[in-house]
Amino acid sequence: MSDIPQLTLNDGYRLPQLGIGVWQIDESTTPGVVSAAVELGVRLIDGAFIYGNEASMGEGIRQTPIPREDLFVTSKVWNASQGHAAAHNAIEDSLNRIGLEYLDLLLIHWPCPARDQYVETWRALIEARNAGKVRSIGVSNFNPDHLDRLIAETGVTPAVNQIEINPRFQNADLRAANDARGIITQAWTPLGDGRSFDAPVISAAAKRTGKSPIQVILRWHLQLGHSVIPRSTKRTHLASNLDILDFRLSDTEMAALTALNADDRCGPDPIAFEAD
């Protein structure tokens, strides 16, 4: 689907606005999901070491006829691999597991501020980028103070900050902080575990447009201007998630969706999350 919009990163590379994530997809299922998604038109595939399916993600990529340079593949350095040397080892291990010579985007998965290693981890990502092992580098779940410290101490601004965003947790202040620093926002758990599917504004927008509540929410994400990576294991759902480019939500609908915010997280708070 060549008409998926592209977002230009602060390093000049372009990120598809809509893709798939492979979190919580088991190893045996992942290759088929990835290859089906690519066949349907997906070009952005978001993985991570901690998902436990990097090798399977790579197998799915190899099953597709699409040239490597036309795909945008992401992985992430996990908390236990923070630190300069450990991060370098983690990057090599991820490349080997996925079976790629380079990643399009590599993120630090969580800041883990109590460990106080995210700056040296960031330096390892900068070096990996300079060595051609990674094209773009960024972070996930970083708050403004974490971002500012990276920038102040290394002079390198993340290209992406992947954060939780869904109708009940809209993270507007952090999205604005990313925008102010020239960082593209990418949304994880974009459907919010389905907790807003029955909201009247979403039901009404779905009825007006002939779309599903899921499609309405994904369209809301696109109109907010960030990248979004929904997960599905079924081909019909993968196709439906892509079928959101032929309609728009009105300004009134967008405002009503904004009013659904309840600051209700699905995931952990980045300030406290330190899991190995």
Report pLDDT digits (tens) over 187-206. Answer: 999 999 999 999 999 999 99
Dihedral sign (CA 166, 168, 174, 176): positive
> Can you tell me the distance from the alpha carbon of 47 to that of 171, in angstroms, rounded to the nearest whole number?
22
Instruction: Give the mean pLDDT of 43-56.
Output: 98
Q: Closest Cα partner for 121 from 107, 135, 134?
A: 107
Q: Which tokens is 167 given?
A: 């109708």
Enumerate residues 6+ apart whose C-beta is below 8 A from 270: 110, 111, 141, 142, 143, 146
How remote is the C-alpha of 3 from its chain's centroid? 19
* CA 266 to each of CA 77, 114, 188, 212: distance values in angstroms, whole numbers, following the listed order: 21, 22, 10, 22
- The whole-number pLDDT of residue 225 equals 98
Q: Is residue 22 very low, low, confident or very high in pLDDT (cuts 50, 70, 90)?
A: very high
Threshold 0.95, pTM exceeds: yes
Neighbouring CB atoms inside 10 A of 248's CB total 13
Whether the pLDDT of residue 18 is over 90: the answer is yes
Q: What is the mean pLDDT of residues 37-53?
A: 98
Per-residue pLDDT averaged across 256-275, rounded? 97
Instruction: Map out the domains of the chain with their CATH numbers.
Output: 6-194+225-234 (3.20.20.100)
Burial of 119 (0-12, 13-18, 19+ CB in 10 A): middle
Q: What is the DSSP letter of 69?
A: G
Give the model's pLDDT for residue 2. 53
User: How confident is the model over 66-84, as pLDDT tens digits?
Assistant: 999 999 999 999 999 999 9
Mean predicted lDDT score pLDDT of the chain: 97
44 neighbors 19 (Cβ within 8 angstroms): yes
pLDDT band at 33 (very low <50, low <70, confident <90, very high): very high
Q: Catalytic residues, which ones?
A: 51
For residues 164-168, average pLDDT: 98
Chain segment 84-116, per-residue pLDDT in tens:
999 999 999 999 999 999 999 999 999 999 999
Structure tokens belonging to residue 19: 């893709």
Opening angle at CA 179, ends 260 and 239, nearest 5? 60
| Interior/surface letters 52-90, b for 16+ CB within 10 angstroms, e for the rest | bbbbbbbbbbeebeeeeeebbbbbbbbbebbbeebbbeb
| pLDDT on residue 1 | 44
Of the candidates 3, 12, 5, the residue with the CA atom closest to the CA atom of residue 182: 12
